[in-house]
Amino acid sequence: MNVKEIVLKQIEEYNNQDIEKCLAYCDDQIEVLLLPNNESLFKGKDILRGHIKSSLGTEDFEEVEVLEVITLGDYVTTVERKTKKSTGENRSLLITYLVEDSLIKTMWAARSN
């Protein structure tokens, strides 16, 4: 599987609300950073698991639609729309994923509300 396929498969499993299959594409020490200040949101698969679990099966769950994908070496950048299933509210995100050894190591997210 190439880096683009890894990222898209991880998003697909997230949308399927299969947390373990989703996290299988993530490194144990995955870090999620918020741009523009590189603020660390999560570090480690267990913390990310807890964050994802908190919205699964609830009104807060947001399905991801990938609008665009750009790949450069080990980096995959996506333009995503997250839509809250309960209300239809959506927001846009730009996420860059670093994939090494077939695992997502780091995610940088820029978002609009």
Question: What are the tens digits of pLDDT across the range 27-61?
Answer: 999 999 999 999 999 999 999 999 888 888 888 89
The stretch 69-92 carries a mean pLDDT of 94
Structural tokens at position 32 = 């999620």
* DSSP H stretches of helix in the chain: 3-15, 19-23, 45-53
Residue 113 pLDDT greater than 70, yes or no = no
pTM value is: 0.92
The whole-angstrom separation of Cα 14 and Cα 21 is: 8
The whole-angstrom separation of Cα 81 and Cα 27 is: 24
The stretch 61-86 carries a mean pLDDT of 95
* Domains along the sequence of the chain with CATH: 3-111 (3.10.450.50)
